[in-house]
Amino acid sequence: MKPAFAAFAAAICLLAGASFAPASAAAADAASARDTLRENNCFRCHAFKKEKDGPTWYKVAEKYRGRADAEERLVRHLSGKGVALFADGHEEKHRAIKPGWWNGENEIRNLVQWILSL
């Protein structure tokens, strides 16, 4: 009885682990990424088509395409260590992502992977 339960519990853990894995490995979760953008007001300065104060999401993806350090740089940028340079030349601390309910670093990483996949 007990070993069987342990095996069952281990299987559940494996399944649970597997279902969270995509955020760090393969495809980013687009719906969550958009939630993150909305909840953090990122669309105020960034859009898909229109240039606002910040570059469009496609431009960001373009800029970093093929760069091995892209993900790490953008995670750092959005973790409170980024600087935003505006068209008029002034600089501000770039907005950092406030961790949501489903985790801090993974939420940022999911968003970054999604932007880079555009």
Asked if 30 interacts with ligand HEC (CB under 6 A), we say no
Q: Of the two residues 23 and 97, which places its CB atom closer to ligand HEC in the complex? A: 97
Asked if 97 interacts with ligand HEC (CB under 6 A), we say yes
Contact 43, 37 (CB under 8 A): yes
Phi, psi of 79 (to 5 degrees): -100, 15
Q: Of the two residues 24 and 41, which places its CB atom closer to ligand HEC in the complex? A: 41
Q: Of the two residues 4 and 88, which places its CB atom closer to ligand HEC in the complex? A: 88
The three-state secondary structure class of 92 is strand
Asked if 16 interacts with ligand HEC (CB under 6 A), we say no
Q: Site residues for ligand HEC, window 63-82 (CB under 6 A)?
A: 63, 74, 77-78
Buried b (16+ CB within 10 A) or exposed e, 78-105: beeebeeeeeeeeeeeebebeeeeeeee
Contact 52, 41 (CB under 8 A): no
- Residues lying near ligand HEC in the complex (CB under 6 A) are found at 37, 40-42, 44-46, 53-55, 60, 63, 74, 77-78, 84-86, 94-95, 97, 115
